[in-house]
């Protein structure tokens, strides 16, 4: 699908969800989306690959009755007043919530602007990597405009902690941080965070904070290279998690932790991260360009960096590097 073809997929989902469980013909979808039949079919194939529950019969297409779409009214009711006033724009399907929020930031969108989607066609992870985003996960990005200059890694840690708190509160499951930006359960990745900072000169103008959580996804929809390293909250619970409550809890906690950063109380956040970081005390391998470093992860510094002991008495400070745990 071309870069903008996600719009056709999003329109298709909108049409099917508002059809009142009536079958919608291909010709009607083409008419409403102003797309060619080949484009509509391509969008439907992509939605199917992402697990979107669309049935197809001789007369047309139908969003299955048990489709678990997010209820925005319920989500909004669970948001608490705080430093950040969240304003959420919801999509069934989008190319990338992170790209959307960054574009909104360029148009001077206010702090708290959030884009939330059921699925992404081109989700973005660290270092520009693809982030697989099938149906029934939590894929969102939020805009923050810090009043003081903050290290991107501190915001990443705060957002990761917001997820661990939400998972504990809503699911009753303990999760841990894997530095620099992953959340794991039992050593398997359940969520990740991406922070993208924008500067004007030397001044930090905005940060787009992306959260990706494998909530109720079908793990079989993940690429094979990631499947063995990942888990979902549904798999851990043996039941579907309430996504609305989980999103609200994560955003409420992010607002609270962000407020601490704005008050220069990062020591409290780093202390909490230390207690919940599975990387500390482990032997790790770090790729720094063409070099590979091995050592023991000793501590987190107050700016969120990882202190690695590579030789007895010699340490290296790491900022958002690729880290692999060693046996």
Domain boundaries, the chain: 3-63, 72-275, 283-325
What CATH class does 3-63 carry? mainly alpha
CATH of 283-325, picked from 3.40.50.300, 3.30.43.10, 1.20.80.10, 2.30.30.100, is 2.30.30.100
The total number of residues shown for the chain amounts to: 327
102, 116, 120: which is closest to 3 by C-alpha? 120
Contact 133, 220 (CB under 8 A): no
177, 143, 148, 144: which is closest to 277 by C-alpha? 177
End-to-end CA, the chain: 41
What CATH class does 72-275 carry? alpha beta
Q: What is the largest CA-CA distance in the chain?
A: 72
Strand partners, 113: 87
* pTM for this predicted structure: 0.94
Which pLDDT tens digit goes with each residue over 195-240? Answer: 999 988 888 899 999 999 999 999 999 988 788 899 999 999 999 9
pLDDT for the residue numbered 3: 43
Distance CA 100, CA 105 (A): 9
Which residues, at least 6 apart from 210, have a Cβ–Cβ distance to it below 8 Å?
A: 97, 98, 101, 124, 140, 141, 193, 194, 195, 196
Distance CA 40, CA 21 (A): 19
20, 248, 236, 264: which is closest to 154 by C-alpha? 264
Does residue 151 have a cis bond before it (omega within 30 degrees)? Answer: no
DSSP state of 267: H
Which pLDDT tens digit goes with each residue over 5-41? Answer: 799 999 999 999 999 889 999 999 999 999 999 999 9
CA dist 201 → 60, 145, 154, 205, 226 (Å): 54, 15, 21, 9, 38
Which pLDDT tens digit goes with each residue over 32-91? Answer: 999 999 999 999 999 999 999 999 999 999 999 889 899 999 999 999 999 999 999 999
């Amino acid at each position: 699908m071309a870069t903008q073809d996600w719009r056709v997929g999003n329109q298709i989902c909108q049409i099917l969800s508002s059809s009142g469980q009536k079958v919608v013909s291909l010709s009607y979808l083409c008419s409403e989306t102003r797309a060619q039949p080949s484009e509509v079919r391509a969008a439907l194939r992509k939605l199917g690959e992402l697990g979107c529950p669309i049935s197809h019969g001789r007369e047309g297409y139908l969003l299955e009755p048990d489709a678990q779409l997010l209820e925005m009214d319920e989500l909004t009711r669970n948001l608490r007043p705080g430093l950040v006033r969240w304003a959420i724009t919801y999509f069934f399907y989008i190319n990338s919530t992170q790209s959307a929020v960054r574009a909104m930031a360029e148009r001077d969108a206010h702090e708290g602007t959030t884009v939330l989607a059921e699925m992404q066609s081109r989700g973005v992870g660290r270092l520009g990597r693809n982030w697989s985003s099938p149906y029934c996960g939590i894929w969102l990005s939020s805009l923050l405009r810090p009043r003081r200059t903050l290290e991107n890694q501190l915001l990443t840690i705060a957002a990761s902690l917001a997820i661990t708190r939400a998972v504990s509160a809503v699911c009753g499951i303990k999760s841990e941080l894997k530095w620099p930006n992953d959340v794991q359960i039992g050593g398997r990745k359940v969520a990740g965070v991406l922070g993208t900072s924008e500067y004007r000169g030397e001044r930090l103008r905005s940060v787009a904070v992306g959260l990706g959580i494998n909530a109720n996804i079908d793990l079989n929809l993940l690429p094979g290279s990631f499947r063995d390293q990942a888990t979902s909250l549904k798999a851990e619970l043996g039941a579907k998690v309430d996504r609305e409550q989980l999103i609200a809890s994560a955003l409420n906690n992010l607002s609270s932790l962000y407020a601490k950063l704005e008050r220069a109380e990062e020591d409290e956040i780093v202390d909490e991260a230390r207690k919940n970081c599975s990387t500390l005390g482990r032997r790790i391998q770090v790729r720094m360009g063409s070099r590979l470093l091995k050592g023991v992860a000793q501590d987190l510094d107050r700016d969120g960096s990882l202190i690695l002991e590579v030789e007895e008495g010699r340490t290296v400070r790491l900022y958002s590097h690729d880290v692999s745990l060693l046996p």
